[in-house]
């Protein structure tokens, strides 16, 4: 439980810090006055003032915000003059709004670079060596353990990892005799494969091993960008399915689910946790750009409308738009949290 809490706070804190810092630094650079920079919501745990800005760490680490002068005030209430948000040019406000998600795309590149540069890259080992056994899987029931090398399955030679899937491809529910090497000893066991409901593949619940390869700084930089782009493409494809494929929304996770996943990933080490943080950062960046009121993407759309009209939308219209957005987000959060609890 403690590991889950610490891991969740680390991941949420890192993502929120980077996202809000993007808004913060661009607001400062475009001449806006930032009254408060906060990580978390609720009561203050720690705060200090530097210059005109109050910096605060709050009790609930599920978000954060920048209090930029003039974002929520009427003309009559503005005491920031030309440094008020709404008094700055449209292009400046667009930069500030998009900067949060932009930083969520930059963070994974940095994290992947650090992982590749200091820990190398890991590729699947082609040897038929068991790297891990899933709890409750047929392999565990059969007594197979991490480090075992599969030699034969029903008397047929196994030379590569892919041979295991090939020899078990049509054997769900059927007993297979497996010969394996454990250290210097040779053992035999019987395993009964099962069909994985999600992939419809016949499995026994084992994972292969990984081979670590060191790379140069230049290769690490190139690979970090390449991996980030690949994940973004995959996420965009999944997002399309979310709105087009029936039942896809059932896979949504809220804060509880994410915290649980962070704890599970952290059990495998700090590097897997950094990988998870990078993945989640990209997810946050993409979701925030959706044209939904109350999200950065929705705010950007209203700025585009303002640029076309040549004047700002009325405060009343903005109020209704933001209210609809908040209701949608709260509804989605409740649905995702319900999924977390039922799972």
Active site residue 306: no
Answer for the pair 277, 112: CB distance below 8 angstroms, yes or no.
Answer: no
Closest CA to 228 of 46, 103, 334, 333: 103
Written in H, E and C, the secondary structure of the chain is: CHHHHHHHHHHHHHHHHHHHHHHHHHHHHCCCCEEEEEEEEEEEEEEEEECCEEEEEEEEEEEEEEEECCCCCCHHHCCCHHHCHHHCCHHHHHHHHHHHHHHHHHHHHHHHHHHHHHHCEEEECCCCECCEECCCCHHHHCCCCCCCEEEEECCEECCCHHHHHHHHCCCCCCCEEEEEEECCEEEEEEECCEECCCCCCEECCEECCEEEECCCHHHHHHHHHHHHHHHHHHHHHHHHHHHHCCCHHHHCCCHHHHHHHHHHHHCCCHHHHHHHHHHHHHHHHHHHCCCCCCCHHHHHHHHHHHHHHCCCCCHHHHHHHHHHHHHHHHHHHHHHHHHHHHC
Q: Which residue among 20, 75, 76, 226 is the active-site one? A: 20
Closest CA to 30 of 75, 81, 95, 74: 95
Supply the residues annotated as catalytic.
20
């Amino acid at each position: 439980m403690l590991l889950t809490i610490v891991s969740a706070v680390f991941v949420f804190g890192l993502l929120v810090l980077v996202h809000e810092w993007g808004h913060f630094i661009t607001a400062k650079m475009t001449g806006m006055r930032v009254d408060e920079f906060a990580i978390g919501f609720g009561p203050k745990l720690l705060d200090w003032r530097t210059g005109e800005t109050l910096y605060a760490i709050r009790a609930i680490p599920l978000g954060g915000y920048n209090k930029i002068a003039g974002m929520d005030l009427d003309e009559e209430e503005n005491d920031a003059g030309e440094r008020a948000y709404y008094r700055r040019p449209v292009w400046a406000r667009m930069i500030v709004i998009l900067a949060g998600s932009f930083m969520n795309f930059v963070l994974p590149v940095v994290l992947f670079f650090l992982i590749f540069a200091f820990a190398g890259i890991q590729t699947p080992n082609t040897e038929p060596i068991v790297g891990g056994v899933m709890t409750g899987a047929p392999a565990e029931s059969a007594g197979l353990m991490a480090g075992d090398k599969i030699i034969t399955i029903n008397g047929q030679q196994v030379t590569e990892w892919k041979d295991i899937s090939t020899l078990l491809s049509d054997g769900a529910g059927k007993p297979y005799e497996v010969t394996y090497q454990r250290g210097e000893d040779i053992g035999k066991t019987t395993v009964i494969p099962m069909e994985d409901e999600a992939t419809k593949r016949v499995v026994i619940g084992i994972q292969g091993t990984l081979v670590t390869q060191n790379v140069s700084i230049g290769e690490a930089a190139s690979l970090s960008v390449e991996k980030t782009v690949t994940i973004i493409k995959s996420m965009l494809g999944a997002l399309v399915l979310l709105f087009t494929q029936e039942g896809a929304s059932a896979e949504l996770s809220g804060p509880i689910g994410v915290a649980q996943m962070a704890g599970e990933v952290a059990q495998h080490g700090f590097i897997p946790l950094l990988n998870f943080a990078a993945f989640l950062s990209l997810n946050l960046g993409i979701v925030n750009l959706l044209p939904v009121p109350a999200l950065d993407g929705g705010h950007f759309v209203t700025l585009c409308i303002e640029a076309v009209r040549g004047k700002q939308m009325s405060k009343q219209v903005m109020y209704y738009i933001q209210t609809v957005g908040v209701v949608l987000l709260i509804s989605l959060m409740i649905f995702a949290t319900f999924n977390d609890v039922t799972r």
